[in-house]
Structure 1
């Protein structure tokens, strides 16, 4: 197939140039959940690659990417077949890992710091940049946890294991075997895995480097050191004052392989590939099931007695370990980020389509209720555009930036964020201090509280003014309103 592509590179460029530059836009069927972000990262083409790029992010429609494949038509000249995919956040080849961290992962750190469960998955074909991305993200997480910007004292503990099929190994103890056993509460414990307390970012980085050196790799068609297992980095953040734990998972999933790689390496690689594909399929079902459960719980149109979706976490070792991430009735709130890494080369167009199709299947859109009519005095009814406009008009000295504080949430989704997360987002804006953030949170909550007092119904899932997420310093508004 590669020879076919190389032979027809000139025709491929000609056919791509003839494509309509303004393709028909994709219309979303609802809004994405703020607790589940599905993204894609397109890695740059390597200088030694002889193939053109087959992936084209749309300039006229954010977060949509087109893939143009060359088809060897049996009745004539090769023809072009095009496919389009949509994600919540799209990163082009010029995007840096630091930018990805700021837009996707930075919010997970304070979320776990304050008792939540934040999870990052990196998925894709081998050689697409998963390990490169996760390695840098781990460094940035270490810096955020240890630079003193997060409020309160915490104890940081780290465990890193390797999952290959149903076998687990401790990457911080020279690949000593780990037993995955279920306790009396139904949770899978990693018996034998050592947990290290870390006190500075240097210690965290040393542990990450040590784990990487013991990661299981093998030569594949695309990569001489392809990851053939799932690496799970678990950071447990203990609050000594309350005795509660927050969890942050950074997971570098095993690289997926094509049939050509299986053919090159024989039966062992075929069996290994089946195990990897099975675990990834179960993972997809669990992530999607959790997103559907969250959407059902937050929907005002939920019918009495409606069944929650089945989440098959017992079907693989990977999802057994992460059961509490997918538990729809768990006590801890969860946020999940998926980064689908793709290789833009025309030679890898098949795996890239599979990766982006996998990413699209993880997206669960919440239908927009026709009963919710936008009202300029009722924040919970606002669209994302209306919420951004209100922020821009009311908070300009110092400016609270709408694209940072409310990147994609509607009014109803914004009111399901914790007060701590809202304040953290505000403080990411240049010049905004904690008192400004508290004033912002208090003002918008005050508007919603006033709307409720005037008789506007409070939709299911949106908190009342007496909830502990509402700010205590409402008088700060007087010092920070336009």
Structure 2
């Protein structure tokens, strides 16, 4: 197939150039869910890639990407077939990992610091930049946790494990095998995995580098050192004052493979790829089930006796470990970020479409709303614009900044935050003291209750 593309590069460019620069807008499926953000990152083309990009972020519509494939028509000249996909956040080839961190991950750190469960998944084809992205995000998380800007005293512990099929290994103990066993409460415990205390930034970076050196890799047609397992970095943040803890998961998923990428490697690699793809399929069902439950709750759609969506977390080792992240009946607040990493090359247009299709299936947006309507029956249905207008009108002195308290959240997303998280954001504003932050949080809650 690559030879066909190489032979028809000029034809491909002429077909793409002839496309309408302002295509018909894709109909939005509403706002993102309250606790889930699905994003895509398009990595730059490398110097040794001979084919042009097939992935084009749409300039006329935010967070929409067009993928153009060249097809060999049996009755004539090659033709162009195009697909478009929509995510909650789209990062172009020139976007840096630091920008991704500020937009997606920076809020997960104080969320976990204050007792929540924050989870990041990096998904995509082998060679799409997942491990590159996660490694840099781990460094930025370490910097945020250790720079002393977060309020309060916490103890930080780190565990990093590797999941290959149903086998699990401790990457911080020279890849020692561990067991995944359920306790009496139905929670999966990583028996044998060592939880390492983290004292400073250099200590945390050293643990991350050590785990990376023990990660399971193997050559594929797309990558000489492809990740053939799921790496789970769990950061537990313990608050000695009240005995509570928060969790932050940074998960580098195994590369999703097509049959053409593994067929040349024999039966073992085919079996390995099948196990990886099954676990990714189960993960998709679990993420979507949890998002559906959160969306129903945030829109006040829950009714007494309403049945919660089924979340099949028992069907893979990966989702058993993360049961508390997906449990719709769980009492702890959870927020999830997915980064779908994409290889833009025309040679990888098939896997690119599969990755973006996977990302789209994770989106469970609420119903589309008319953002110009000021007649909201409930503050939980407010858009970010309406919420920030209310904050500016009730900010007090010194001003509680809407850009700090609710930089991107809708009403549903903000009201799902803990009181400690809202107070923490208020106190990030210059001059705001704890008493003012508590008063503002109380006023915000009273407004929500009365509406």
Q: TM-score with structure 2 length normalisation?
A: 0.93
Q: Which residue of 2 aligns with 1:132?
A: 132
Superimposed CA distance per residue, residues 89-114 of structure 1 (whole angstroms, 9 cap, x where no aligned partner): 11101111111111111111111111
What is the distance in 1 between the residues matched to 2:163 and 2:437?
44
Q: 1:222 to 1:240 in 2, by over 3 A?
A: same
Number of residue pairs aligned between Structure 1 and Structure 2: 450
Q: Which residue of 2 aligns with 1:97?
A: 97
Question: Counterparts in 2 of 1:388-399, with a 5 A limit?
Answer: 388-389=388-389
Q: 1:427 to 1:69 in 2, by over 3 A?
A: farther
Q: Is the 8 A contact 1:373 1:381 kept in 2?
A: no
What is the distance in 1 between the residues matched to 2:375 and 2:439?
19
**Offset of 1:419 from its aligned partner?**
3.8
**Offset of 1:262 from its aligned partner?**
1.6
Deviates more, 1:24-33 or 1:157-166: 24-33
What is the distance in 2 between the residues matched to 1:184 and 1:444?
37
Deviates more, 1:378-387 or 1:204-213: 378-387
What's the C-alpha RMSD, in Å, of the aligned pairs?
A: 2.6
Q: Which residue of 1 aligns with 2:172?
A: 172
Superimposed CA distance per residue, residues 414-470 of structure 1 (whole angstroms, 9 cap, x where no aligned partner): 333334434555677xxx326079758855863773686xxx5x4xxxxxxxxxxxx
- Unaligned 5+ segments in structure 1 are 459-482
Q: Is the 8 A contact 1:374 1:381 kept in 2?
A: no
Q: Does 1:323 align with 2:326?
A: no
Q: Does 1:299 align with 2:299?
A: yes
**Offset of 1:244 from its aligned partner?**
1.4
**Offset of 1:390 from its aligned partner?**
5.1
Deviates more, 1:393-402 or 1:54-63: 393-402
What is the distance in 2 between the residues matched to 1:115 and 1:325?
13
The structure showing larger relative contact order (alpha-carbon pairs under 8 Å, at least 6 residues apart) is: 2
Deviates more, 1:21-30 or 1:269-278: 21-30
Q: 1:82 to 1:450 in 2, by over 3 A?
A: closer
Q: Which residue of 2 aligns with 1:256?
A: 256
What is the distance in 2 between the residues matched to 1:128 and 1:437?
45
Q: Which residue of 2 aligns with 1:212?
A: 212
Q: Is the 8 A contact 1:38 1:359 kept in 2?
A: yes
Question: Counterparts in 2 of 1:15-54, with a 5 A limit?
Answer: 15-54=15-54
Q: Is the 8 A contact 1:378 1:447 kept in 2?
A: no
Q: Which residue of 2 aligns with 1:107?
A: 107
**Offset of 1:47 from its aligned partner?**
1.0
SS in 2 for 1:44: coil
Q: Which residue of 1 aligns with 2:265?
A: 265
Q: Is the 8 A contact 2:156 2:197 kept in 1?
A: yes
Q: Which residue of 2 aligns with 1:470?
A: none
Q: Is the 8 A contact 2:35 2:413 kept in 1?
A: no
Q: Which residue of 1 aligns with 2:55?
A: 55
Q: Is the 8 A contact 2:256 2:273 kept in 1?
A: yes
What is the distance in 2 between the residues matched to 1:378 and 1:186?
37
What is the distance in 2 between the residues matched to 1:409 and 1:296?
17
What is the distance in 2 between the residues matched to 1:51 and 1:401?
47
What is the distance in 2 between the residues matched to 1:198 and 1:50?
44
Q: 1:163 to 1:444 in 2, by over 3 A?
A: closer
Superimposed CA distance per residue, residues 140-181 of structure 1 (whole angstroms, 9 cap, x where no aligned partner): 111111111111111111111100000001101111110111
- Unaligned 5+ segments in structure 2 are none
What is the distance in 2 between the residues matched to 1:199 and 1:447?
37
Q: 1:269 to 1:56 in 2, by over 3 A?
A: same
Q: Does 1:82 align with 2:82?
A: yes
SS in 2 for 1:110: helix
Superimposed CA distance per residue, residues 4-25 of structure 1 (whole angstroms, 9 cap, x where no aligned partner): 1111111111111111111111
Q: Which residue of 1 aligns with 2:245?
A: 245
Q: Does 1:410 align with 2:407?
A: no
Q: 1:397 to 1:185 in 2, by over 3 A?
A: closer
SS in 2 for 1:290: helix
**Offset of 1:348 from its aligned partner?**
0.5
What is the distance in 2 between the residues matched to 1:86 and 1:439?
40
Q: TM-score with structure 1 length normalisation?
A: 0.87
Q: 1:394 to 1:296 in 2, by over 3 A?
A: closer
